[in-house]
Structure 1
Amino acid sequence: MNIKALRDQRAAKATEARNLIESNTGAGYTKEISDKVDAIYEEIDRIDASIAAAERQAQIDGDAAQDDAGRELDDRVRSQLNPEQREQQDRYNNAFRAFILRGERGMTQAETQALIAGPAIQNAQSIGSPASGGYLVPAGWGGQLLEALAMFGGMRDVATVFSTAGGNPLPWPTVDETAAEGEIVPENVAAADSDVTFGTTQIGAYKYSSKVVTIPFELLQDQGPGIDVEAFVRRALAMRIARITNRHFTLGDGVGKPQGLVTAAPVGRAGLTGSATSVSPDDLIFLEHSVDPAYRSLPGVGWMFHDSTLRDLKRLKDNDGRPLWLPGYTAKEPDTFLRYKYTINQHMPVMAASAKSILFGDLSSYMIRDIMQVTLFRFDDSAYTKKGQIGFLAWSRHDGKLVTAGAPVKAYQNSAS
């Protein structure tokens, strides 16, 4: 069954469940109705698993489409350059591919000179030369790598993400206006002074390494139709950087690394004794209302938790026995919990003693900064050649921070015992 058919099947089940819930209120929501809804939810879970598997396969099959998107990005970059710069960019792209496949010792003199000269877009922005032994990736190559980061984790799904050419510390204004009010002013009386008090926070750029990815000689030597070594290297590097950055954007302590959202979020509701591995509907309602209504009305508001937490939340019901989790009809109307959308983040703490396991609020208040310069190194020294391998290493720079003077996101903390 294809993905569309599975989604249609899921939508039909979601409609059936919602109709049962919404048309049977109060005493009308009997045990028989509750059992029917539970059975439908189990069927939805099975369909979701099938959709996830089909989407994973489609992602694998769609790697060529991602490469096409990268070429389109290259074309957009080239359209901004003059003819001389376009020629330089093409030379650099071709030389970079030769660098990946053959290394510097296997390149022609012209290709080596093209790499040393750098990409045209780099020169146009007056960015410094890359580190010795490594080269800045072409615009389309780097754009695909950064876009691929969004496929892992969860933070990039909800945060505000922006890119800069360089990595100098970036001051960001902060202000909390949730308690500010106007006034009534009598005739001929001056208005009171109440200046907005701005603060600033710095968003920097921490240097991340992919660690070395090794590729056997055979893959480089025998590549033919259907084998794209560039794409393989790019995906492997992106996966590693995405995992570590998502972990830091979630849990980082801000010391030598980004400050994670869990770290930055104050506790809005602490679980009562006995809830070290659980949460009650009342806890979640208190957490919701611990966030100022001004933030709860913003488009970025929602929940964030681990998938195992979602499993437990799906079993929570209100006083009439009606589930608090509702399946969405379509992708545009996502599943909700207590009427708010949610994001699964596998780096969120699972429910355990004193864990900040659930976040709620305006998740888009978290800012992620990407530096557009990505440098690739290729290793073909004896440490690798004696194993019949070539090594690749990427360096990229990122930072993340909750940039607000208020508390747009708060956490539920499980009890200590």
Structure 2
Amino acid sequence: MIKTQISRDHAALMTKRALFGVYERKDGEPSLAAVKETIDATARAFEEFKKKNDQELEEIKKKGAADVVTVEEVKRINAQITELSQKYRDLQTKMQRPAAGGGNGETNETKTAHRQAFDTYFRKGRGDGELRELEAKAFTGQSNPDGGFLVPTEMSSEIDRVLGTVSVMRSLATVIAIGTGAYKKLVNVGGAASGWVGETEARPATATPTLEELVFNTMELYANPAATQTVLDDATLDLATWLANEVNVEFAEQEGAAFITGSGVNRPRGLLSYTKVANASYTWGKVGYVATGASGAFVAAANGPGDCLIELIHALKSGYRNGATFLMSDLTCAAVRKLKDTEGNYLWRPGLTEDKVDTLLGKPVAYDDNMPAMASDSFSIAFGNFKRAYLIIDRAGVQVLRDPYSNKPYVHFYTTKRVGGGIQNYEAIKLLKFAAS
């Protein structure tokens, strides 16, 4: 008993060390030791979770109900794994961020002058006339002084880089930059007929392919960070890094929700906002789904709760499965972790090396808490080749309008960018519906 308690205390200590950054470097950046310790703590927690979950299942089998203490232990360890998983993702994000003081080494004289003028405008609120003239030379058609000035290229790139590390859908989907307000593409939804013929045989006429135009409009996304003039007067402040760090959280939260549930009105259209049909009735323009067989849940353990996930994988055409990923919230994953196959093997596995991710039935799992929690008729899990399924459009250029008057002594920077998004290939994504059918 004493040995067991010491073991538990040691595991708890290791978990806390991983969760609360014992191994962060003095400069605030995570070390490789922190990553390794988080991975090791996850492995230990998952082994403990399996033992306790098996104990709970055995108690239910023998007594009809599990001991309250066992149930609470399973919940505690499950939550611990979720925390560790989030900690690991946070560490990865921090390690992928570029260091402060960057810049792309731009030597073009006009752009260099623009960068210097923007710096003066940003810090002091002066030189907007010179900045307007420079933008007219270098950024024809994109400058809009009434709505702000275009930030220099390296600052815009910094914002995009940071967003790319914190936005789940941006890391999964295809992202392109355009210079206009909308992006159009033609897709072949019918296909031209084809076949095999001998060398001298007649070639029958083939059907004309059915083409459909997809239009992705960009909508305005904004953030309004603030700083004191004292901070702005600090010559060591790297403006690109400061602005990126200030706006990325707001941008990422707004984008993240829109890419999943957005209506398409004044925001991107989210992957869950399209018409959904049972996969057997799938047609282009709709998203096919597979049902779990139970309202708001997986079916009971005796009935094969993981079968619907296998069906979901194979609902996707084989050409899309290579590169496909599960997408769900952390809450949904907590339920998925308990699922086992007929031989008693757990379907979910944690990524236990630095270059590995969590897997479900051998497929990668990505987590986005914008995905709905399990509920009656909810579409809480998506499985797809998101690079081919979903398109994110960035209109080139981020604009900033300086406002020193609205909230003295703070200077606000009304920052805007235009973003669009939507499904570009309906075949490349399927959903899991938590319902009887």
TM bin (shorter chain): 0.7 to 0.9
Aligned to 1:374: 398
Pairwise CA distance, 1:152? 2.6
Q: Which residue of 1 aligns with 2:162?
A: 148
CA positional deviation for 1:409: 0.4
Q: Secondary structure at the match of 1:67?
A: coil
After TM superposition, the score normalised by the length of structure 1 is 0.76
Which of 150, 170, 174 matches 1:136? 150
Q: Is the 8 A contact 2:158 2:240 kept in 1?
A: no
With over 3 angstroms needed to count, the CA separation of the structure-2 counterparts of 1:47 and 1:228, relative to structure 1, is farther
Report the counterpart of residue 113 of structure 2 in structure 1: 91
Which of 115, 124, 131 is residue 102 of structure 1 equivalent to? 124
Match of 1:392 among 409, 413, 425: 413
CA deviation profile, 1:310-364 (whole Å, cap 9, x unmatched): 1211111101110001233434332210111121112111111221100012111
1:262–1:229 Cα change, 3 Å: same
Structure 1 counterpart of 2:246: 236
- Structure 2, unaligned runs of 5 or more: 1-21, 24-30, 51-57, 59-72, 275-285, 300-304
Give the RMSD, CA atoms, in angstroms: 3.6
Q: Note the alpha carbon deviations across 1:198-244, whole angstroms, 9 max, x for none.
A: 3220122111121x2232344335x365x546533332222212211
After superposition, what is the alpha-carbon deviation per residue over 1:160-204, rounded to whole angstroms, capped at 9, x for unaligned? Answer: 01112x223221122347x88753324532234144433220122
What is the aligned length? 368
- Matched residue SS, 1:410: strand
The answer to whether structure 1 residue 268 and structure 2 residue 281 are counterparts is no
Residue 324 of structure 1 is matched in structure 2 by: 347
Aligned: 1:294 with 2:314: no
1:403 deviation in Å?
A: 0.8
TM-score by length of 2: 0.73
Match of 2:329 in 1: 306
Deviations 1:352-389, CA, capped at 9 Å, x for gaps: 122110001211121101111111011122x322xx22
SS state at 1:171 partner? strand
Structure 1 residues 54 and 246: alpha-carbon distance in aligned structure 2, compared to 1, 3 A threshold = closer
Q: In structure 1, what is the equivalent of residue 310 of structure 2?
A: 285
Q: CA deviation at 1:145?
A: 0.9
1:7, 1:51 within 8 Å by CA — same for their partners in 2?
A: no
Distance in 2, Cα, partners of 1:201 & 1:278: 36
**What residue is the counterpart of 1:35 in the other structure?**
none
Judged with a 3 Å threshold, the aligned counterparts in structure 2 of structure 1 residues 353 and 150 are, in CA distance, closer, same or farther, namely: same
User: Residue 83 of structure 1 aligns with which residue?
Assistant: none
Partner of 1:252: 262
> Superposition pairs for residues 15-414 of structure 1, below 5 Å?
49=83, 53=87, 56=90, 65-68=98-101, 70-71=102-103, 74-75=104-105, 78-79=106-107, 86-103=108-125, 107=126, 111-119=127-135, 123-124=137-138, 126-132=140-146, 134-164=148-178, 166-176=179-189, 182-186=194-198, 188-192=200-204, 193-210=206-223, 212-221=224-233, 223=234, 225=236, 227-228=237-238, 231-264=241-274, 266-272=287-293, 274-278=294-298, 280-296=305-321, 298-299=322-323, 301-364=324-387, 365-381=389-405, 383-385=406-408, 388-404=409-425, 406-414=426-434
Gaps of 5+ in 1: 22-30, 32-38, 80-85
Counterpart contact for 1:88–1:114, Cα < 8 Å: no
SS in 2 for 1:309: helix
Shift of 1:13: 7.9
Contact 2:325–2:385 at 8 Å: present in 1 too? yes
- Whichever residue aligns with residue 168 of structure 2, its letter is G
Q: Give the Cα separation in 1 of the matches to 2:317 and 2:194.
A: 18
Amino acid at match of 1:390: V
Pair 1:44–1:235, CA change in 2 (3 A):
same
Measure the CA separation in 1 of the matches of 2:42 and 2:390.
35
The amino acid of 2:162's aligned partner reads A
Partner SS for 2:289: strand
Relative contact order (C-alpha < 8 Å, sep 6+): which is higher? 1
Distance 1:60 1:114, change over 3 A: farther
Q: 1:329 to 1:180 in 2, by over 3 A?
A: farther
Sequence identity (%): 23
The structure-2 alpha-carbon separation of the partners of 1:219 and 1:57, relative to structure 1 and needing over 3 Å to count, comes to farther
CA distance in 2 between partners of 1:96 and 1:394 (Å): 14
SS at match of 1:132: helix
CA-CA distance at 1:271 after TM superposition: 3.1
Task: State the distance in 1 between where 2:333 and 2:200 align.
Answer: 59
Shift of 1:53: 4.7
Cα 1:90–1:318, aligned 2, differ >3 Å: closer, same or farther? same
Q: Match of 1:151, SS?
A: helix
For residues 224 and 252 of structure 1, do their structure 2 counterparts lie closer, same or farther at Cα, with a shift above 3 Å needed? same
- 8 Å CA contact retained: 1:353, 1:416: no
- Mapped to 1, the partners of 2:310 and 2:357 lie a distance apart of 20
Any runs of at least 4 consecutive aligned residues in structure 1 with deviations exceeding 4 A, and if so which? 6-9, 11-15, 42-63, 179-182, 227-230
Does the aligned pair in 2 maintain the 1:13–1:44 contact within 8 Å?
A: no
Contact 2:271 2:422 in 1 (8 A): yes
- Give the letter aligned to residue 236 of structure 1: E
CA distance, structure 1, for counterparts of residue 92 and residue 309 of structure 2: 36
* Contact map agreement 2:402 2:413 (CA 8 A) in 1: yes
